[in-house]
């Protein structure tokens, strides 16, 4: 809202200056956005010269003028003057200037402030010690005659009006407002219209009581407050025709709708300068009803702005008396007795307030005496009880309904500056992140350190891509997708990664590795999801290298990245079990899965080449696509930290010995089984195991194969002699033959 210091002094007795007021308003929670000096508006006018004129494209009587006002750029002005021509010297009034005669302020766009009113601001300032509240005495007016215009409120479902007050004023002489009233309205940006209309606006701005004046002679057999019928129409005071929906609160007579209750009146019953008899309305309308109607009709008025936020339901008579007194003083007339029709009575709100709760919540203490003084100044009625205060909430404060609201009022008036700044204690006894969170971020960094670029994609994806990676998973459709291409929740991160991999390949990025660590969804209920690290690589290794041989990325690159990442996270790769059983979106002969141990409880990861059939269907521009998935929920969390889980790297100063073994095994035996057996023979001496050849063919039985393994033997304590080496050689051969059925190839 806008308010002047002089208007505020109508309700507040203070000797303090304007600068003190600005600071105090901020202190009690009412932010001052700007300060304007009304007498400075004339300074905005400038002498100008019209340089060029053109006919307005959409209006016959208007011209578009280019005007020189002494600045670098010419101003464009739409003008209706017939004498506007090139070379004319005239006056330029920019946005913000007030035209002296009409008191119209030129604006570029409508600016709307926060609703409030002078009396409430004055009350808050008085409570904060800025001055003393002036309680205005009601001017006594003679209310002799009975209000003869019948008013009825229909009791209907969703009725938006609970009380309708009115008084009839006969034999008025509507005229221009006196200068003091015009000045009041102009000072806050209102345009004076006529005495009756100006008085209703003045009362609304002064005590937050919206009123409406009807030409009583235009009302047919009384007022009926009812719900509108579907399709009803009326012409409002803004000269627009509104078609109403069923259930909107309307003020009507026997002919039809006179206006929308609490929002805007109609032209049919509007007052004019020749109006003789008026019906003055002061009613209470439900904020929800006002808000719904205004939203549906796209209407915004000063009355609507106040009613939808809640006004004082007990101010009906006060508003009528104040306005009737001013109308009688300025326009004359005979005022009838006030008639108030109700279908619902106001219920007083009572709050039991624990005085000790203030310090517990806010952090500083004010005395009970000060609490009672502040609340009394704010309009609360207080009854002291044994351990609390029984508070009757003022009818003009619909925003107060519970104890915490009382605390907010007390701290607002006593001063937010009294809340001390307490620096938080920075001594941490526990880690900020849980072990799961630490593992999440570690895997994120570990994958990125291997040359993968992290992507951030939607949680939803294209159904056609998702179907390739869903397997038997449930398809989770989105009811209101943001686009047809994002219609389902992802069952696999591959669906999104492939989309963006394809886009990057189309843009000429030939060799690319991307990853994402996010949830994938197994159902539509909360918790039906699992966190997965998913990576995807395309292209070649060592492309255009002068030292390394160029080759396609393959599944062993993905296997290395996964194994190395899990090892860095503290899991012992010697215990890993790897086989070739993978989902159907991987190449069946070029993929694998990893378990953290031989128990094979839960799959820790998959890796391998994406199935060639999928690549053909999605038409991606690459020969091969290599991916991996690591499942965070399947990684067992150790009580140790990630730092403590890392294996200690030891270097031996003693001579190492390398021994090669060739074992003949059945074709269904995997090299991993031999490696696992050998690594457990003597972990202190066997430092490295490498498969360097797999042979099937001549001199090997049809159902068997030969696996050649190189083993590095080295002690951390001494140089091994021939006897030591022979002993461990025999132990390796014996263990492999007994546990796998293999035979050493001599």
Separation of alpha carbons 556 and 551, rounded Å: 12
Check: CB of residue 678 under 8 Å from CB of residue 736. Answer: yes
Binned at pLDDT 50, 70 and 90, residue 652 comes out as confident
* The pLDDT value given to residue 415: 84
State mean pLDDT over 36-54: 68
- Selected residue with higher pLDDT from 739 and 27: 739
In the predicted structure, residue 235 carries a pLDDT above the cut 80: yes
**Per-residue pLDDT, 232:** 93
Counting Cα atoms < 13 Å in the Cβ hemisphere of 247 gives 8
pLDDT at res. 230: 92
Give the residue among 172, 203, 214, 213 at the shortest CA–CA distance from 321: 203
Q: Which domains does the chain have, with CATH numbers?
A: 5-133 (2.40.50), 151-342 (3.50.40.10), 350-416 (3.30.56.10), 435-644 (3.30.930.10), 650-744 (3.30.70.380)
Mean pLDDT, the chain, as a whole number? 86
230-253 b/e (C-beta count within 10 Å ≥ 16 → b): eebebebeeeeebebeebbbbbbb
Q: Which are the contacts of 133, defined by CB distance < 8 A and separation ≥ 6?
A: 11, 12, 13, 122, 123, 126, 377
According to DSSP, residue 606 is labeled: E
> For the chain, what percent of residues have pLDDT higher than 70?
91
Interval 518-525 mean pLDDT = 90
Comparison of pLDDT for 106 and 92, the residue scoring more: 92
Q: How far apart are CA 225 and CA 155, in angstroms?
A: 9
Residue 641 has pLDDT above 70, yes or no: no
pLDDT at 115: 32
Question: Is residue 535 within 8 Å of residue 518, measured between CB atoms?
Answer: no
User: In percent, how much of the chain has pLDDT > 90?
Assistant: 49
In Å, what is the CA distance from 544 to each residue of 44, 502, 540, 541? 70, 22, 10, 9
Per-residue pLDDT reduced to its tens digit, 284-333: 999 999 999 999 999 999 999 999 988 999 999 999 999 999 999 999 99
Residues 137-187: pLDDT tens digits?
767 777 778 888 999 999 999 899 999 999 999 999 999 999 999 988 888
Q: What is the pTM of this model?
A: 0.54
Helix (H, G, I), strand (E, B) or coil at 446: helix
Q: What is the mean pLDDT of residues 519-531?
A: 90
Given this model, what pLDDT does residue 184 score?
86
Mean pLDDT, residues 442-456: 94
Q: What is the pLDDT of residue 502?
A: 93
| Residue corresponding to tokens 């890993």 | 576
**Averaged pLDDT for residues 22-40:** 68
Q: Distance between CA 666 and CA 109 in Å, rounded?
A: 86
Predicted local distance difference test score (pLDDT) of residue 109: 30
Helices 316-331, 195-207: inter-axial angle, 10-degree rounding: 140
Which whole number is the average pLDDT over 90-114? Answer: 49
pLDDT at 116 over 60: no
Instruction: Report pLDDT for 24.
Output: 74
Helices and strands, number each (H, E), in the chain: 19, 39
Q: Would you state the structure tokens that stand for residue 239, as one six-digit string?
A: 């000269």
Q: What is the pLDDT of residue 106?
A: 47
Given this model, what pLDDT does residue 22 score?
73
Q: What is the mean pLDDT of residues 441-453?
A: 94
Question: What is the phi/psi pair of residue 742, to 5°?
Answer: -75, 160
- Per-residue pLDDT, 143: 79
Q: Where are the alpha helices (DSSP H) in 70-223?
A: 118-127, 179-187, 195-207
Q: 99-108, 366-375, 457-466, 574-583 — which is least confidently predicted?
A: 99-108
Task: Find out whether 529 and 520 touch, Cβ atoms under 8 Å.
Answer: yes
Q: Is the pLDDT of residue 521 over 80?
A: yes
- Rounded to an integer, the average pLDDT of 245-256 is 93
Pairing of strands 512-521, 453-454: parallel
Per-residue pLDDT, averaged over 363-378, amounts to 90
């Amino acid at each position: 809202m806008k308010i002047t210091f002089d208007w505020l002094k109508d309700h507040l007795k203070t000797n303090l200056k304007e600068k003190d007021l600005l600071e105090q308003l901020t202190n009690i929670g009412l932010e001052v956005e700007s300060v304007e000096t009304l007498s400075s508006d004339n300074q905005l006018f400038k002498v100008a010269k019209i340089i060029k004129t053109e006919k307005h494209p959409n209006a016959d009587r208007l011209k578009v003028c280019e005007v020189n006002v002494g600045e670098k750029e010419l101003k464009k002005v739409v003008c209706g003057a017939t004498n506007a021509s090139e070379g004319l010297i005239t006056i330029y009034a920019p946005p913000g200037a007030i035209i002296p005669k009409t008191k119209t302020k030129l604006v570029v766009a409508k600016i709307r402030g926060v609703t409030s009113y002078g009396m409430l601001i004055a009350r808050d300032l008085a409570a904060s010690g800025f001055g003393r509240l002036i309680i205005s005495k009601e001017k006594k007016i003679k209310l002799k005659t009975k209000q003869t215009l019948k008013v009825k409120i229909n009791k209907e479902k969703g009725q938006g009006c609970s009380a309708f007050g009115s008084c009839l004023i006969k034999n008025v002489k509507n005229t221009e407002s006196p200068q003091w009233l015009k000045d009041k309205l102009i000072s806050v940006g209102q345009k004076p219209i006529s005495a009756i209309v100006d008085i209703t606006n003045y009362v609304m701005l002064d005590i937050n009581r919206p009123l409406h004046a009807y030409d009583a002679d235009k009302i047919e057999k009384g007022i009926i407050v009812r719900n509108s019928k579907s399709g009803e129409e009326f012409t409002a005071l803004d000269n627009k025709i509104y078609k109403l929906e069923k259930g909107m609160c309307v003020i009507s007579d026997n002919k039809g709708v006179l206006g929308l209750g609490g929002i805007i009146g109609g032209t049919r019953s509007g007052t004019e300068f020749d109006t003789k008899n008026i019906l003055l309305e002061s009613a209470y309308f439900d904020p929800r009803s006002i808000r719904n109607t205004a939203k549906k009709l796209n209407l915004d008025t000063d009355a609507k702005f106040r009613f939808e936020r809640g006004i004082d339901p007990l101010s009906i008579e006060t508003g009528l008396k104040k306005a009737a007194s001013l109308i009688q003083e300025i326009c004359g007339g005979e005022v009838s007795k006030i008639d108030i029709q109700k279908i619902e009575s106001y219920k007083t709100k009572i709050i039991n307030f624990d005085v000790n709760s203030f310090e517990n919540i806010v952090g500083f203490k004010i005395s009970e005496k000060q609490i009672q003084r502040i609340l009394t100044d704010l309009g609360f009625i207080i009854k002291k009880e044994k351990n609390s205060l029984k508070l009757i909430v003022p009818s003009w404060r619909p925003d107060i309904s519970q104890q915490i609201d009382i605390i907010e009022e007390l701290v607002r008036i006593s001063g937010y500056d009294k809340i001390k700044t307490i620096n938080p204690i920075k001594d941490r006894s526990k880690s900020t992140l849980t072990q799961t969170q630490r593992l999440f971020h570690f895997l994120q960094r570990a994958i990125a350190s291997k040359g993968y670029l992290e992507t951030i994609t939607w949680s939803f994806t294209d159904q056609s891509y998702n179907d390739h990676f869903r397997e038997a998973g449930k398809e989770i459709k989105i009811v209101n997708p943001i686009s047809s291409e994002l219609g389902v929740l992802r069952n696999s991160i591959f669906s999104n990664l492939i989309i963006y991999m394809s886009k990057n390949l189309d843009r000429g990025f030939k060799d690319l590795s991307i990853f994402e660590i996010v949830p994938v969804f197994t159902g539509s209920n909360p918790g039906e999801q699992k966190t997965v690290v998913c990576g995807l690589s395309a292209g070649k290794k060592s492309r255009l290298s002068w030292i390394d041989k160029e080759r396609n990325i393959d599944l062993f690159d993905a296997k290395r990245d996964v194994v190395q990442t899990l090892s860095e996270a503290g899991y012992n790769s010697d215990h890993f079990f790897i086989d070739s059983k993978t989902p159907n979106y991987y190449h069946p002969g070029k993929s694998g899965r990893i378990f953290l141990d031989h128990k094979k409880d839960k799959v820790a990861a998959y890796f391998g080449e994406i199935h060639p059939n999928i690549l053909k269907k999605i038409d991606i521009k690459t020969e091969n696509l290599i991916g991996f998935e690591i499942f965070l929920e399947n990684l067992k969390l150790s009580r140790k930290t990630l730092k403590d889980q890392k294996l200690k790297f030891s270097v031996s100063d003693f001579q190492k010995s390398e021994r090669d073994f060739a074992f003949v095994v059945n074709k269904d035996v995997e090299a991993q089984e031999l490696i696992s057996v050998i690594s457990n023979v003597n972990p202190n001496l066997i430092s490295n195991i490498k498969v360097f050849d797999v042979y099937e063919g001549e001199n090997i039985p049809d159902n068997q194969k030969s696996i050649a393994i190189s083993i590095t033997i080295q002690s951390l304590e001494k140089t091994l002699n021939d006897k030591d080496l022979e002993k461990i050689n025999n132990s390796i051969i014996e263990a492999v033959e007994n546990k796998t059925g293999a035979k050493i190839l001599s």
